[in-house]
Amino acid sequence: MMAILNRKTLEAAQLVAGAALLVLIGPSSVGRGPSAAWALEQAYEPQQIARREYRHHGVRRSEDRLQDEAPEDVNSASSSGALAAALAACDSNGTASLTLPGTKGAIRLDSCYRGREQFVCSLNTLLDEAKKLNSDFGHIIEAKYLAVGNVDAICRIRPDALSADLTKAGTFGARFKDLRTEYDRRISCAMKVEQNLKQVNLGDMPHSADILKSMNDTLEADLKDVAATRQQIFDLNEKMQASQKAIVTIEKLRPTMCLSTSVPATAERVEKPVSGGQ
């Protein structure tokens, strides 16, 4: 009988202790997942595909940081300056302080938008930059550094080619960040203008609703090609990061495993995976 009472007393004490622990912890940290706002922010993040962290020369960083681990090309700053100058030229051709009639007075369009002439000019500038990135740096992806499969394939890659491509990969990273920022600014601007247009009232026009719908459709059409190219350049960035890491690893493997008598191919790149010796 005493044993049963002692066991019940012990169980009761454990329940009291558990309840006290829950009180101390509080509901804020028990059974609570990420907030809805946080989840939405993560789901909407337009650059999410390009924010993955990578390791380069033993230092782990986020790609969003301004510094790049790869050697910097002297042409990087001039290329970024060229993009900024081209976008500034588009802005100079725009009209500031655009307004449209509204129910309670004039509706001022967001200052980011200076007319369709300026908007389309800037979009075309970004499309041109995206094409240049692909043509100027696509050969690094085509080199297929990730495809090497044995020591012989590694030793046949020229050290100067590795060094040059690593530098160019760093240049690509800097230009990609600038392009991504400008892409997102234009997309954000279009969203703001669409919100502005919801407040516009063209009461004097018999086909007011049709006109406003056409304006929105036109903006969306202007962004269509940009959105597709934006995704392509994001995919290229993913491949570039993978190639960049592969180059760094290959640079470490060459002095580890290659002989001084190894003769790298003069113009040869890694064309396909190699499973055996060659």
Q: 124-136: per-residue pLDDT in tens?
A: 999 999 999 999 9
User: What is the C-alpha separation between 16 and 31, in angstroms, rounded?
Assistant: 20
Asked if the model's pLDDT at residue 62 lies above 70, the reply is no
- Confidence bin at 151 (pLDDT 50/70/90): very high
Asked if the model's pLDDT at residue 234 lies above 60, the reply is yes
Asked if the model's pLDDT at residue 167 lies above 70, the reply is yes
Averaged pLDDT, 98-125: 94
Asked if the model's pLDDT at residue 44 lies above 50, the reply is no
- Confidence bin at 261 (pLDDT 50/70/90): confident
Handedness of CA 226, 227, 232, 237 (dihedral sign): positive
pLDDT at 78: 58
Pick the more confident residue, 48 or 167.
Answer: 167
pLDDT at 94: 87
Asked if the model's pLDDT at residue 52 lies above 90, the reply is no
Q: pTM, whole model, 2 decimals?
A: 0.66
The per-residue pLDDT of the chain, averaged, comes to 75
Tokens, residue 238: 């993913």
- Confidence bin at 55 (pLDDT 50/70/90): very low
CB-based contact 206:103 (threshold 8 Å): no
pLDDT at 240: 97
CB atoms within 10 A of CB 50: 19
pLDDT at 251: 95
Q: Could you write out the three-class secondary structure of the chain?
A: CHHHHHHHHHHHHHHHHHHHHHHHHCCCCCCCCCCHHHHHHHHHCCCHHHCCEEEECCEEEECCCCCCCCCCCCHHHHHHHHHHHHHHHHHHCCCCCCEEEECCEEEECCCCCCCHHHHHHHHHHHHHHHHHHHHHHHHHHHCCHHHCCCHHHHHCCCHHHHHHHHHHHHHHHHHHHHHHHHHHHHHHHHHHHHHHHCCECCCCCCCHHHHHHHHHHHHHHHHHHHHHHHHHHHHHHHHHHHHHHHHHHHHHHHHHHCCCCCCCCCCCCCCCCCCCCC
pLDDT at 14: 47
pLDDT at 265: 53
pLDDT at 42: 37
Tokens, residue 81: 């300056």
Pairing of strands 53-56, 59-62: antiparallel
- Confidence bin at 75 (pLDDT 50/70/90): low
Asked if the model's pLDDT at residue 263 lies above 80, the reply is no
Asked if the model's pLDDT at residue 31 lies above 50, the reply is no
